[in-house]
Amino acid sequence: MLDRHTPQARIQTLVRERRIRFEVTPELENSLKKHGATDALINELKQASERKAAAGRGNAGGRAGAGPPAQADRPSTTARLTVTAPRPGEVFRGDPATIPVSLQLDGGQVVPATSLRLVPNEGHIHLSLDGSLIAMTGLVGDVAAAPGPHTLSAEFVAIDHGPFQPRVIATVTFTAVR
């Protein structure tokens, strides 16, 4: 949403209204800041994460709060995800290098809306570079990478941003050089 220039106040409202909850790791926080997130937005996401944790503590063994279901209750999907670009071992030049990313999703559909009503073959794409979430994106885009070896992972997640069970992940390694 940040990449699409959605006003951050709107993102904060969506987080509250749709009870979007996911863990704000230091890596995610850094990525959000790199993409222009304000402290107010990051704090809203952290508070949502804390609400999720508190809800989980309030109901031992059962489903707690309005966040994503416990891991055992995650939906499954028949979707398969493939990284079509970059190719394994591909070398890119630049500091940072611009890496074109192209994904193929078979048996699933990327949808823009976030919801707690889970549909088995509908969801979002989470894109990570070297283990850090860098984008919640569609099937095509670009990422910037500093010189060095890198691992790009894409995950097709349910419409609540939680993983499918089993997880649907595609990974590729590439190198950026000056």
pLDDT tens-digit map of 110-163:
998 888 888 889 999 999 999 999 998 889 999 999 999 999 999 999 998 999
Pick the CATH number of 73-178 from 3.40.1010.10, 3.10.105.10, 3.30.450.20, 2.60.40.10: 2.60.40.10
pLDDT tens-digit map of 4-47:
566 777 776 666 666 666 667 776 777 777 778 787 777 777 77
DSSP assignment of 83-108 equals EEESPTT-EEESTTEEEEEEEEEES-
Tokens 């790009």, located at residue: 152
The reported pTM is: 0.64
Domain assignments of the chain as residue spans, ordered by start: 1-67, 73-178
The C-alpha atoms of residue 123 and residue 133 are separated, in whole angstroms, by: 16
Q: Which of 39-48, 65-74, 162-171 has the highest mean pLDDT?
A: 162-171
pLDDT tens-digit map of 86-104:
999 999 999 999 999 999 9
Choose between 81 and 50: higher pLDDT: 81
Phi first, then psi, for residue 163 (nearest 5°) are -75, 155
- pLDDT, position 3: 57
